[in-house]
Structure 1
Amino acid sequence: MKVKQNNQVILVIIDGLAYDTATDCMGYLQSLVEQRQATLYQLQSELPSLSRPLYETILTGTSPLEHGVLHNQIVRRSTEESVFSLARQAGLTTAAAAYHWFSELYNTAPFIPERDRLTNNPSLLIQHGLFYHEDHYPDSHLFCDAEILRQTYQPDFLLVHPMNTDDAGHKAGYDSGLYRNTVRRADVGLSGYLHRWRAEGYQILVTSDHGMNNDHSHGGTLAMERLVPLYVIGDGWSHNDDCR
């Protein structure tokens, strides 16, 4: 595959994706690792292993105890410096196809669907957004939303955030066929877009906020709740084995 080179970054956060399930079920991403076209790291999430606190942690590099978003019911804008704010300070273009909690953290809170679902405002931290507000919103639609944003606005930083894996875990639990097969479908659905993005030289990160447990939930200290994958794709990263 002929690869261009650029410095634009795509961050994919597959909500609720546990490390072991990723390595067992994501055949396309694991093939990139086997062919040394990607590097896989195992990460341990901060606590509590809940989504909204960890969205803020991923985007700001601060822990929940520092940034103060301690559970999912805290609805307010971020008070921290984030990847989005740094990109805007540098005059770069930002976009997100993501769950509405990201809009609340970095654009406007509370989220009002008829106002905020489709965002195109150069003054906001996330300038261009396609935000959804139901956990069963299809990953296939979400990946298409992200590609529309990429092709239309050519953002320097694009966040892609599908939710079906987390939704399946809450319905059936970590050790379930529904959870594993949803991860497999995410891998298949994402593969075509990743192939295209790689060919165009994007620097890509694929990771998760937290995993899942057999009680159909998360938030605690179990390895299945805290251990998540980080796939690093592109020549702009160090691919340092010492960080594994």
Structure 2
Amino acid sequence: MSNKLIFIMLDGLRYDTASSQMGYMHHLIEKGNASRFKVKSELPSLSRPLYEVLLTGTPVVKNGITTNQTVRLSHEESLFHLTKKNGLKNATASYYWVSELYNSAPFNPGTDRIQLDGQKTIERGIFYWEDHYPDSHLFADANYLLQSYGPDFLYVHSMNIDDDGHKYTADSAQYRNRAIAVDMILASVLPKWLEAGYQIIVTADHGMNDDGQHGGTTAAEREVPLFIVSPRVKAGIYKEEIPQLQIAPLACELLSIQPSAAMQKLSIPILKGAPSL
């Protein structure tokens, strides 16, 4: 069974919006090929702190990435560190803050947009720095990395949903339509990626409120989706809430590598053969 994983992070996507607008992902669920879960994000419900949460499985109080303005390399062992340590190839098409967390900080657009030499923690990376950088271009970047380098772990980080949420609020046609647009991109790329033997995770860092913001404690800001497409995970829609700190150890499980010592033990019973939720 394949241990290759593509981790897709749709910045700013609320759980309820994902549940109502993402028809292709729910098609996979209806046909028994995917699962959907509700995740409760860590606090603060801000982007850079939650990138670190998702990729290292550590809370803000431990990792120290407390604000969007905390510009430094991570002090934790991320999924990029772990895959490289275990002899797996990694790559990402991401917002530049991911490069600042795991490759070098501060980010220099003139030199750091394309990093393909394989020497850093993120071995192959294509980074952008405008929040409106089109998702169509981002997924083309990701597909280039996949086809050119065959990474075992590919992290894809989209910003357009978050960008429209800030511009128009979560209670807007623009925000909902952006979620539909991303779902249509997934409908285009996922069949090929699944055929190539990859397991797929789709989740978000935080949600978005009706004022066009996030950072607080409301359900709109903290509840995000988790879709999993893997033969190792039981298909269906699950109502139980999953802590966001469980996503990194889940990724390790799907990659068949040991989690870091700082990560929680994987406790969500969703793998085939585990007790039902």
TM-score bracket, normalised by the shorter chain, equals over 0.9
Tell whether the 8 Å contact from 2:160 to 2:178 is kept in structure 1 after alignment. yes
Residues 47 and 197 of structure 1: is their aligned pair in 2 closer, same or farther, counting only changes over 3 Å?
same
Within the alignment, does 1:154 sit opposite 2:150 as a pair? yes
Cα deviation for residue 197 of structure 1 reads 1.1
Partner of 1:112: 108
Tell whether the 8 Å contact from 2:35 to 2:234 is kept in structure 1 after alignment. no
Of 203, 206, 211, which aligns to 1:210? 206
Partner of 1:20, secondary structure, is: helix
Tell whether the 8 Å contact from 2:35 to 2:233 is kept in structure 1 after alignment. no
Cα deviation for residue 114 of structure 1 reads 1.5
Within the alignment, does 1:178 sit opposite 2:183 as a pair? no
What is the rounded CA distance, in whole Å, between the counterparts of 2:110 and 2:6 in structure 1? 26
Q: CA RMSD in A?
A: 1.3
Q: How does 1:1-244 map to 2 (within 5 A)?
A: 5-237=1-233, 240=270
What is the rounded CA distance, in whole Å, between the counterparts of 2:153 and 2:234 in structure 1? 19
Cα deviation for residue 102 of structure 1 reads 0.2
Partner of 2:158, secondary structure, is: coil
Q: Deviations over 1:20-57 (max 9, x none)?
A: 00011000001111111101010000000000000000
Tell whether the 8 Å contact from 1:97 to 1:145 is kept in structure 2 after alignment. yes
Q: Deviations over 1:58-117 (max 9, x none)?
A: 001001111010110000000001111011111211100000000000000000012110
Residue identity (%): 51
Q: Which moved more, 1:27-36 or 1:232-241?
A: 232-241
Q: Which moved more, 1:196-205 or 1:230-239?
A: 230-239
Q: Deviations over 1:133-165 (max 9, x none)?
A: 000000000010000000000001100011000
What is the rounded CA distance, in whole Å, between the counterparts of 2:189 and 2:65 in structure 1? 32
Partner of 2:140, secondary structure, is: helix
Equivalent AA in structure 1 for residue 226 of structure 2: L
What is the rounded CA distance, in whole Å, between the counterparts of 1:52 and 1:83 in structure 2? 16
Partner of 2:115, secondary structure, is: strand
Equivalent AA in structure 2 for residue 53 of structure 1: P
Cα deviation for residue 236 of structure 1 reads 3.5
Tell whether the 8 Å contact from 1:201 to 1:234 is kept in structure 2 after alignment. no
Q: Deviations over 1:174-199 (max 9, x none)?
A: 11100000000000012111111112
Cα deviation for residue 201 of structure 1 reads 2.0
Give the TM-score normalised by the residue count of structure 1: 0.95
Residues 81 and 243 of structure 1: is their aligned pair in 2 closer, same or farther, counting only changes over 3 Å?
farther
Partner of 1:62, secondary structure, is: coil
What is the rounded CA distance, in whole Å, between the counterparts of 2:158 and 2:84 in structure 1? 24
Equivalent AA in structure 2 for residue 234 of structure 1: S
What is the rounded CA distance, in whole Å, between the counterparts of 1:138 and 1:226 in structure 2? 25
Partner of 2:256: none
Q: Which runs of 5+ in 1 are unaligned?
A: none
Cα deviation for residue 121 of structure 1 reads 2.2
What is the rounded CA distance, in whole Å, between the counterparts of 1:238 and 1:109 in structure 2? 40
What is the rounded CA distance, in whole Å, between the counterparts of 2:75 and 2:234 in structure 1? 30
